[in-house]
Structure 1
Amino acid sequence: MTTTPIRVTVWNENIHERRVGSHPAELYPAGIHGAIADGLRELLGSSVEVRTATMEQPEHGLPQEVVDTTDVLLWWGHEDHPGVADEVVDRVHDAVLGGMGLLVLHSGHYSKIFRRLMGTTCSLRWSPDVAREVVWTVAPTHPIAVGVPDPLVIDEQEMYGEFFDIPVPEELIFLSTFSGGEVFRSGATWTRGFGKVFYFSPGDQEYPVYRHHGIRRVLANGVRWAAPVRRGPRLDATMHRRGWVDGTPLSD
């Protein structure tokens, strides 16, 4: 029996790595998106088809045909969240409500798409000073936690801390502590419409976090977990075509 591969798109702002001679360019010569894509291919093999997209491409690399043929989208952004076109955000938002999985990474908590899906500011405490992050698994039976070291130790990382202004997670999987004593809900999930959303915070551009095997395992598990059980129109569009609006049947 053959299994259809999960169609994955790794989206990256790709600003830091394009600066010649910068530290992120040295760490990630193929871009953060390239490192993430390599990790998914390494751990998931033929069960995935992975492509990448970046902000500087036409329609940010996410035209309708790409979004329509993506089962799981990974989103890494940092420096230019406002520069992401609203029509692309609308497209991704509709796709998530229609069943596409979304993994939001690190500074993507401030992205337009995550804030729209969460309905909150998604603000947090932050420090650029180098810190040791210890990622503790608090839901060891969750599929995203399978095979992940507990704790998962990142020797160099920037600090994200509470309060993190997000809706109460449906599932809290990882909780991070830092060398300064801070804590952070670093891995959490929600459902929106038919789609699954997973936020995972480790992954600053100044550190080789996406080469860490444990981090790669989390993302690979996240892709499997977020793969859609159905992929199609968002619920309100489906109900409208069937003669319903906001849960109320239309009169003939």
Structure 2
Amino acid sequence: MPPVDHGESLRTVTATRYVAPLREGGSLPGLVEADDLGMYVLKFRGAGQGVKALVAEVIVGELARRLGLRVPEIVLADLDPRLSKAEPDEEIQDLLDASGGLNLGFDYLPGSFDFNPRVRDPGADLAARLLWLDALVLNVDRTWRNPNLLLWHREVWLIDHGASLYFHHRWGPDWVPAAEYRYDISDHVMLPAAGSIADADAALRPLVTEDLLREVLALVPDEWLAADPAFASADQVRAAYLAYFARRLDQAATWVPALEETRAARV
């Protein structure tokens, strides 16, 4: 599959049929068909994690794509809650009823399966780059228990980034980035396979410019950001994310050597 070029916005599709639940994780994603005849894994705004999980999915997924990692195409999916009337499962009915409007869809990768680096070597460079990205965005959900990686057409694809950027669940009007963010990679699925994280940092950090971050943040729908009670506008929320990334990148001279020390201890 060639890289997806979203330009200035994500594609928007309309969900036309709820096909099946994917009972993995707490958010109960579902497989849906859309008006473009595509099949998408839908993450619902009415799920327990709420819209902020969808925001994190867009930011981290599209940042990963721009750094050369493979992520299924992300689309905005308009959902009519009346689709729930065809569903016999009351839990799914409630989820669809609570999720009218824009939700988040990911291109369905038929025939994909969970990636296990013990079975297939991902390569030292890919493993290190993925580890570096997860440390940048504080993704705590890439462990042996839940790797959130798929193997499709012999390539590794990244999924499920809703647990990243966890600080946005606790911020308020006077929020500023923390002086330091601790990130433990000891249980990261890619740690045993990773090459030099310092080399990954040297390759990737220069690419994460303010312009690139603004481009990624512009992909998040205003209505999702404006719903955040901590700030007065969507632009203020975007500015807060920019402030986080600026601080986190400035701190790289501290957290990258710490990651490298942990990696070296495993070699």
TM-score (norm 2): 0.27
TM-score (norm 1): 0.28
More helix per residue: 1 or 2? 2
